[in-house]
Amino acid sequence: MSSDNGVPSDNAYEALSEGGDDVRWAYGTGFADPLEGVDTTVPAGTNAADLTAYCLMLGDDALIMSHRLQQCCTDAPELEDEVALANIALDLLGQARLLLSRAAAAEQAANGTGRGPADDSDGDGPQPGEDFYAFFRAEREFRNVRLAELERGDFGELIARLLVFAAWRLAVLRQLTSSRDPVLAAIGAKGVKEVTYHRDYAAQWLIRLGDGTAVSRERAQAGLTAIWPYLPELFTPHEIERRLAAAGVAADPAGLRGEFDDVLAQVLPAATLEVPDVPPRAGVAGRTGRDGVHTEAMGYLLAELQSVARADPEATW
């Protein structure tokens, strides 16, 4: 069939494009700004310094987990999964950018100095605030949970980690949708859709690996066991989280364990995997990732993440 008489043409991408769009863009358009029309002032009665720290916590979780996923690029078992993991990494990087920018704005409100303008002055691209937080903070200033930073294992470990991370983060983001901070609520609403897919992807794979061959089951179980000691940290509220949760701004991680356990109780039996019986990995004097106390892997990760920006601090991209 030809397109002579105006029926959809042979060109698949042309047929997918929306009428009236610039034909140079063969793909879908209509991208939405998740923060469009959202009031970005720090809500009354909210401690701006606490809000800064909280946005760094959630932003760092996404940034560091994204980096671990990015490391799988060119190293995934199949091309299809390589793209899938890169997509997930990009989703998380997008969440990190919004959250670190929010941290910059809140810090500005807290002490009037901030780390550079947080507003979107040139329309797009990394902003000084988010760049500063990502590239020029020291390890002790990162507030991500240790689960995100752990040294990369095999595909079984990655999938186990992604399932736990996504199931937990989805519960966090779902609570954030009703946050008193409109920006956090908007970020939560955007993130819920993304992380729902991440959780689905990881659950599908964990079931395939666990209920697959003897080798894949062994590796999936080993991966689950490797990350399990870092699970309790996810549900232990930092005092800042507790304060902001009481103020109706943050999600209280202590209240999320039920939803998380329900998800795992569906996936693990289907995957014929067992809940690992391993003790939690303690922090240093009770301090863990949320306090800036990290595992050995974190220093190496940051060296890779930050080296280019630090070699040329004036660079723009």
**Residue listed under structure tokens 């299809």:** 80
Nearest approach, Cβ of residue 53 and another protein (Å): 34
Residues whose CB is less than 8 angstroms from the CB of residue 58 and which lie 6 or more positions away in sequence, other chains included: 95, 99, 172
What single-letter DSSP state applies at residue 141? G
Q: Do residues 55 and 106 touch, judged by C-beta distance below 8 A?
A: yes
**Minimum CB distance to another protein smaller for 35 or for 76:** 76
Nearest approach, Cβ of residue 35 and another protein (Å): 18
The torsion angles phi and psi of 277, rounded to 5 degrees, stand at -105, 80
**Minimum CB distance to another protein smaller for 30 or for 258:** 30
**Minimum CB distance to another protein smaller for 17 or for 288:** 17
Nearest approach, Cβ of residue 184 and another protein (Å): 25
**Minimum CB distance to another protein smaller for 21 or for 119:** 21
Q: Can you tell me the distance from the alpha carbon of 151 to that of 106, in angstroms, rounded to the nearest whole number?
A: 32
Q: Do residues 193 and 32 touch, judged by C-beta distance below 8 A?
A: no
**Minimum CB distance to another protein smaller for 28 or for 299:** 28
Helices H / strands E in the chain, number of each: 12, 0
One-letter amino acid at 158 equals: L
Nearest approach, Cβ of residue 289 and another protein (Å): 23
Nearest approach, Cβ of residue 151 and another protein (Å): 9
- Using CA atoms of 175, 176, 181, 187 in order, give the dihedral in degrees to the nearest 10: -160
Nearest approach, Cβ of residue 75 and another protein (Å): 5
Q: Among residues 126, 203, 219, which one has the least CA distance to residue 170?
A: 203
Residues whose CB is less than 8 angstroms from the CB of residue 166 and which lie 6 or more positions away in sequence, other chains included: 195, 198, 199, 202
Nearest approach, Cβ of residue 36 and another protein (Å): 16
**Minimum CB distance to another protein smaller for 113 or for 213:** 213
Q: Can you tell me the distance from the alpha carbon of 235 to that of 207, in angstroms, rounded to the nearest whole number?
A: 24
Q: Can you tell me the distance from the alpha carbon of 175 to that of 245, in angstroms, rounded to the nearest whole number?
A: 10
**Minimum CB distance to another protein smaller for 95 or for 179:** 95
**Minimum CB distance to another protein smaller for 79 or for 315:** 79
Residues that bind another protein (CB under 8 A): 5, 8, 12-13, 15-19, 27-31, 75-81, 83-84, 87, 152-156, 197, 200-201, 204, 208-209, 213, 215-216, 219
